[in-house]
Amino acid sequence: MTLLNDIRDYPWTNLLTGLLPARLAGMLPARLQSKAAQIVPSASIAGHALTVVIAIMSFLACLTLGAVYMVNQSANAWVNDISSEITVELDPINAADIEKKMTLVALFLAKQKGVNRVKPLTAEDSAKLLEPWLGQSSALQALPIPRLIAVEIDRSNPPDIQVIKSALTQNFEGVTLDDHRRWQAEIKTLTRSAALAGLAVLSLVAVATIAVIISATRSAMVSNRGIIEVLHFVGANERFISREFERHFLGLGVRAGLMGAVAAALAFLLLPFMMQMLGGGAVTAAETQRLIGSGELDLKGYLLCVLVVVVVASLCMITSRLGVIRVLKTYA
């Protein structure tokens, strides 16, 4: 409850002076500035090195969190796309008049409940699907390539796939239905593995960030031990002393966290362009999109970066309080 009281009693009107570097803070209107001299000097807390270290760790944390979020979003989009479509395959060997059979099957499928759209693929379309493996060759026309019908299903009211499958087998010879379940399972496994790997990296970055902040904050507290002692000897209680330090560490955490988050946001904005440049044109925007979604964070993604700033600032604040308590414990 003490921490909540401290948040309530915090001089929020002076927050800007805590967030800005001393030179800029001095240019703020007088009403936003604290009239009394700082008991704990900013320079003893927010050294450039400490700010840079925390900013870098925040940047890495935002980058990892954003990447995990992006992979997860992309994976969900993939799974959603393929789960809303099934494919019907017609064996070309046993079909005397394949085009007629295509029409009959397509009509049959269109009549089924829960089917939104039926799109029979032409022989050329089917041949094109094989081009990435066999290349452009006239020999493709001579091959007995299976004909495909793409069926878009209503995901809110999906059809009974097993019933359609049995009906197709009973009514048409050499017709099979693929509901992509195997592929979906493989993609789910792949994306889940990628997300887990991302989370593992995120955990490592989070632990490293926490360790760096704690270590840096402790160092700053040690260098300010003399101030803590004097405040203790003039009768300041633990709450007063920790608040004097917390306001600096909160400012430091928010400032460094924001620097890291803004840098990460810029990196995410530039990611698609960078990938295009690195790919030398071979990696097209469409391919990038297929791999990592749009390559840009959506609003939720940016909110995650804001969350990182909040966590980093809170961590700085809490660590400084624990540091004060630790120093004060060395007295009676």
- Positions touching another protein (CB under 8 A) are 35-39, 41, 44, 226-227, 229-238, 240, 328, 331-332
Beta carbon of residue 230, minimum distance to another protein (angstroms, whole number): 5
- Shortest distance in whole angstroms from residue 296 CB to another protein: 46
**Amino acid at the residue 228:** I
Q: Give the pair of three-digit tokens for residue 172.
A: 């048409």
Give least dist CB 312 to another protein, A: 26
Pick between residue 5 and residue 284 the one whose CB is nearest to another protein: 5
CA distance readout (Å), 167 to 39, 92, 157, 164, 177 = 83, 19, 19, 5, 11
CB of 213 to another protein, least distance (A): 24
Q: Which is nearer to another protein, 180 or 239 (CB)?
A: 239
By the 8 A CB rule, do 315 and 210 touch?
A: yes
Q: Measured from the CB of residue 80, what is the shortest distance to another protein in angstroms? A: 57
Q: Which ranges of the chain would DSSP assign to H, the alpha helix?
A: 2-9, 15-19, 22-25, 42-45, 48-83, 98-111, 123-134, 139-142, 161-171, 181-223, 225-233, 238-278, 285-292, 299-329
Place of tokens 């049995």: 166
Spatial neighbors of 125 by CB under 8 A, at least 6 apart, are: 148
